[in-house]
Amino acid sequence: MSREYDLVVFDWDGTLMDSAAKIVSCMQSAARDEGIIPPGQKEVEEIIGLGLPQALERLFPSESSTVRTVLQAQYSTHYAENDKTHTPFFPGVEEGLAELGRLGYTLAVATGKSRRGLDRVLNNTNVGQFFSGSRCADETASKPDPLMLYELMDELACAPERVLMVGDTEYDMEMARNAGVVPVAVSYGVHDVERLHAYHPRYCVDEMSQLIAHLSM
């Protein structure tokens, strides 16, 4: 099969994994731990996709850097240990990743999660086998800076025009644009799809099976 693209890079939270409810819960719990009025659901959903320090700066701009450092630690503890909110994959994700691999695509992850957080979820699921590379916000620049994608393209030897960036937020779309790669939007994540259309994604899909259909033509 002659392919238009070689590398498909996925955002994680809100694109592959339905984790928004857990992120909201943990962020609100971290705020309560420090006696801070917790942000609302929509406020937290707005920052999903950013690196944790950048997310906390947006959510708690009036707090000191010292307090935000404590909030970061509290959030991480809640996410890893205390909060039991279920975080399933979106429908068709596991099957879709396997099919893309079968079709010969190279797959990677570019996420606002920490390296520890991504490694934890990869170790607790069976999808790590599908990815040839990954970048996390605490080991490079946070979205929408293009550095994650530049590093992945360099590591996996792929030109920008041969790369798809699949995500559910404006941060993903803007990062793709900044890196010169091709954006793909998913409609089921945390940012309204109308916002994503402003970046003129190559595809906008409602579920993984639709992406597979586009890429198997």
The residues carrying an active-site annotation are 11, 13
**Calpha distance 73→93 (Å, rounded):** 30
- Which parts of 77-162 are beta strand (E)? 106-111, 133-136
Instruction: Say if CB 18 and CB 75 are below 8 A apart.
Output: no
Three-state DSSP class for residue 192: coil
Residues 6+ apart with CB under 8 A from 37: 31
**Calpha distance 172→50 (Å, rounded):** 9
- Which parts of the chain are beta strand (E)? 7-10, 106-111, 133-136, 163-167, 182-186, 203-205
Give me the amino acid identity at 88.
P
Residues 6+ apart with CB under 8 A from 60: 31, 36, 39, 67, 68, 71
Q: What is the CA radius of gyration of the chain?
A: 17
Asked, as a colleague might, if the bond just before 144 is cis with ω within 30 of 0, I would say: yes
